[in-house]
Chains A and B, each alone.
Chain A
Amino acid sequence: MAGLDVPSAGRVVLDGAELNTLDEDGRARIRYQRVGFVFQSFQLLPGLTALENVMLPLELNGMAEPQALASDWLQRVGLVDRMQHYPNQLSGGEQQRVAIARAFVTDPLILFADEPTGNLDQTTAAQIIELLFRLNEEKGTTLVIVTHDEHIASRCQRQLTLAGGRLEDGA
């Protein structure tokens, strides 16, 4: 759905773009322009600081002064003091907040979150979910969350259940 892979059969249409007809680079452009990601394992670059991790998508697309925007987003996720820290100097919750800032910094239409709290303790998980939903409301981004947590699922407007690889029902 997010354009990371292509379906072996059928079609995937994302905001009007048919993903299976695009080549890798075409899908990469869609990802940059419209999609953001948050992963269970955070997926930060270990060699880059928190700030640099958030700047990365902007720099990749040639933005001239990405620093101001990136630090603004780190501030929004509450990491203003941790900007120059490397991922291994941050806690799991902090790392996930950096990942969220990185996902929102390109102003995506859709944000895919794959088990965003899977690697976090309960308290931190609750904070992260709060942050995600708050930003989702502020930015008007469509949020697609994959989760095992019924509580998180219940906060979403629409729930789809996947069992044994098949879609069971859609509310």
Chain B
Amino acid sequence: MTRPGFALRLLLRDWHSGELRLIVLSLIVAVASLTTVGFFTDRIEQTIEIQATELLAADLVLSATAPVPASIGEQARRMRLQTTSVTAFRSVVVKEDRFQMAEVKAVAAGYPLRGELRVADRLFGEEYTPAGIPAPGEAWADSRLLQQLGVELNEQIELGATHLTLSRVLTFEPDRGGDIFNIAPRLMINRADVAATGLILPGSRVSYYLLLGGEAESVAAFRQWFEAQHGGGTVKIRGIRDARPELKTALERASQFLGLAALVSVALAGMAVAMSTQRYVRRHLDYCAIMRCIGATQGTVLSIYLLQCLLLALLCSVLGTGLGFLGQAGLASLMSGLVQGELPAPSAWPAVSGLLTGLITVCGFAMPQLLRLRAVSPMRVLRRDLTPLPVSSRLVYVLAILALALLLPWQSGDVSLSLYSFAGLLATGVALALAARGAIYLIRRLRLSGVVLRYGLANVSRRGGQSIAQVLGIGLGLTAMLLLFLIRTDLLENWRERLPAGTPNYFLINVQPDEVRQLGDFIFERGRLLTEFYPMIRGRLVRINDRPVSPEDYADDRARRLVAREFNLSFAEQMQGHNRLVAGHWWASGETGVFSVEEGIAQTLGIRMGDHLTYLVAGREVSAVASNLRWVEWDSFNVNFFVVSDPATLASYPATYITSFYLPPAERLLLSDIVREFPSVTVFDVDAILTQVRQLMNQVIRTIEYVSGFTLLAGLIVLFAALQTTHDERLQESALLSSLGASRRQILGALLAEFLCLGLIAGLLAAFGATLVEWLLAHYVFNLTMSLNPVIWFFGPLLSMVLIGVGGVLGTRHVLSAPPMRVLRQGT
């Protein structure tokens, strides 16, 4: 019989005799949880990407300042992609004697390729999804344009040389994006009407877009073709990765957390495998001695066990991957309500990574232990005490760490995150081990009365190394559980709290200084609260120090746009909430000639602390020093400004005011009252965007909860494996105690004392570990400030003591009923 064949037979025999069950279980759960996470994140990421495509209204967008060459569109269609064109330009819309600058978007049939438009048949009326795009001769305007132009639906407006009928209110377009406060209101027309306007002349600023959509492979193939043929040319390509920033952060946060959760699962599963293998090896020392005795060489023994190990890894990986696939299918049905349409099919990559995961986990966590079997002396058949020295713990750790390091980058797909989490996990492990060692040392010094208590606690310190490993295993398992609890209670709630139910969904802009009070009262009387009124002053950056600023100075598109037009400045005594200083200091009362600059824009425009910035405001220049940089939480949906001055510097310049408030959808008619009462005020509706972001947030939260569930499962297995490591020894000792005349009560008492002590130490360590990880998550992933949760410091140790106490006693209870001779005779 060939050696692999023989190894397989031995493996089957071991399986029948029940020796392998825990290792198999750990491995299968390791691979299954990892592949479920893998398959799941793969599909969810695809889904989130699909939803993100809605923000582009396409999978890919080509943009240019001249019409996109027809050959590119033809190529896209040849590659089985759908296409549609959009032309966008700014122009004045005229109604009788009123003029209003608008962003005109001319769309063709098929728009939008992803996501959908929403319209209403009257101002602030009921929204619905239209069947197509504006018919030729018609135009759809957003509420702002209607308000500012004072025009009703079904009236005619002039756009360039043509007349168009306003047929609907445009309430939502998926690819609106951008800095919503700084763009003119929207007018959407049919592309067939563009020529008639006569507005597009040589030299006009027009943007041409070609929207593309199709199967992921076709999109990728097209992108590749495009980069090769037209990369770096005048036609720019944009995929979803370059979509709106708040979405990007949510995506990044989700994948960061999933990576982290997967990472913890790997570590836990690995630990369970290592612990179960340790026990398996101890039980197989006799096997090896007998095999050696009847003539097997060291090499034979080792190769049989290594082969067995590889076969086991392979079998468990295949099984685990299969289970993982089923697991994610169940998950997909859970998610079906959240995601529009069908989830995309998972890709094959998680299956491959599942198989490799099994192999790497076994190589890193089980193999080092198996090396011990090579050194078994045949003399052991005569002298049981001839146990080979344990493998150098350094080797075990190095291999385990190496295995983890190999697994990491796939799981999170992000090298720096992997490194940080890896270092964090390692440091936590070392800290926990040291703390466990300290606690066990203290127990050794403890002198207690009562033989039961003394014997039980003496066991904890006598098994020193094993106890540390056990406490570490149990502690890490519990950490996963407590963390899940913390995430569900503190972290996610906190995150959701960022966009609480009453988050302002309407902004009022263009409020004249003398209307501020009146408007405030008007809304207050109708039972709604306004946030503060903030002054808004339009200005264009003209100089940084003595250097004149012009769009041509910047390569970055965003920087060019920012420099080319006016943007909103404000002034304030105090820094707004949701802002944080990152450099410099906030001004003291009375300090003047100073600006506070948002750090992102400072970076984009190359502004440093201490630079003199000069703005052109209403024909006058105003200069001040950039005295601090601010971080702004943009996704809080609060009014925020890139540049704020002290109250004195901008006080004499013409300002309008902006405010925001929350209005439930049912009370939208109040908006019409405001518009009628304060004709100059413009209502800005962010409800749609808010809903979109909130939906995404919920989805991320659901995902995180699900994935943490797997970490929990891995944690439970480690817990069980940790208890198993000293199971045989404990049986033997209890039998011995019993043969010496100890009563069942005394044995049970000693066991309980030992388990409760282990549980207490592990529980305290777990509370510490969970708090640490929660803080890391809060700080680095969710950008939240956290307060300590005192509950887990009480419930953690309690839960741990109950779990370990009950589990441990249940596991060893048969020693209490079996005649001790039987246990003693079987030996270990």
Contact = CB atoms under 8 A, between A and B. Distances in A.
A4 B381 contact: yes
B674 to A, nearest CB: 82
A2 to B, nearest CB: 9
Nearest to B14: A47
Nearest to B6: A59
Interface in A96-151: 102, 106, 114
Interface string B289-326: 11111111111100000000000000000000000000
Contact of B295 (A29, A48, A86): A29
Contacts of B298: 24-25, 28
A60 B291 contact: yes
B462 interface: no
Nearest to A48: B13
Chain B at the A interface: mostly helix, strand, loop or mixed? helix
B382 interface: yes
Contacts of B13: 47-49, 52
Interface string B11-23: 0011011010000
A12 to B, nearest CB: 14
Contacts of A64: 1
A160 to B, nearest CB: 18
Contacts of A90: none
Interface size class of B (residues with CB under 8 A): 20 to 34
B9 interface: yes
A73 interface: no
Interface string B365-387: 00000000000011101100000
Contact of B297 (A29, A33, A47): A29
Interface in B1-58: 1-3, 6, 9, 13-14, 16-17, 19
A83 B767 CA distance: 54
Contacts of B793: none
B287 interface: yes
Contacts of B3: 62
Nearest to A105: B294
A77 B294 CA distance: 19
Given A63-B1, A64-B1, A31 B293 contact: yes
A24 B291 CA distance: 13
A106 B294 contact: yes
A36 B13 CA distance: 24
A144 B292 CA distance: 20
A37 B14 contact: no
Interface residues of A, number: 35
A37 B1 contact: no
Nearest to A45: B287
Contacts of B16: 47
Nearest to A27: B378
Contacts of A49: 13
Nearest to A36: B294
A170 to B, nearest CB: 23
A74 to B, nearest CB: 16
B379 A4 contact: yes
A74 B3 CA distance: 24
A45 B16 CA distance: 13
Contacts of B296: 28, 32, 60-61
Nearest to B292: A28
A60 B295 contact: yes
A5 B379 contact: yes
B285 to A, nearest CB: 12
Instruction: Kindly name the residue among B1, B300, B377 whose own CB sees the greatest number of chain A CB atoms within 10 A.
Output: B1
A46 interface: yes
Contacts of B300: 28, 60
A66 interface: yes
Given A37-B381, A59-B1, A86 B290 contact: no
A31 B1 contact: no
A75 interface: no
Nearest to B827: A41
Contacts of B1: 59, 62-64, 66
A102 B293 contact: no
Interface in A28-73: 28-29, 31-33, 35-37, 39, 43-49, 52, 56-57, 59-64, 66
A40 to B, nearest CB: 9
A43 B381 contact: yes
B290 A31 contact: no
Nearest to A61: B295
Contacts of B293: 4, 31, 37, 43
Interface in B267-299: 286-287, 289-299
Contacts of B6: 59-60, 62
Interface string A1-39: 000110000000000000000001100110111011101
Interface of A: 4-5, 24-25, 28-29, 31-33, 35-37, 39, 43-49, 52, 56-57, 59-64, 66, 86, 88, 102, 106, 114
16 contacts: A5-B377, A25-B299, A28-B298, A29-B295, A31-B293, A32-B295, A39-B381, A43-B286, A43-B293, A44-B290, A45-B290, A47-B14, A62-B1, A63-B1, A106-B294, A106-B295
Given A43-B293, A66-B1, 5 more contacts: A37-B293, A39-B381, A46-B17, A56-B290, A56-B294
Interface of B: 1-3, 6, 9, 13-14, 16-17, 19, 286-287, 289-300, 377-379, 381-382, 826
- 7 shortest A-B CB distances, which residue pairs? A32-B295, A47-B17, A25-B297, A57-B294, A31-B295, A60-B296, A28-B297
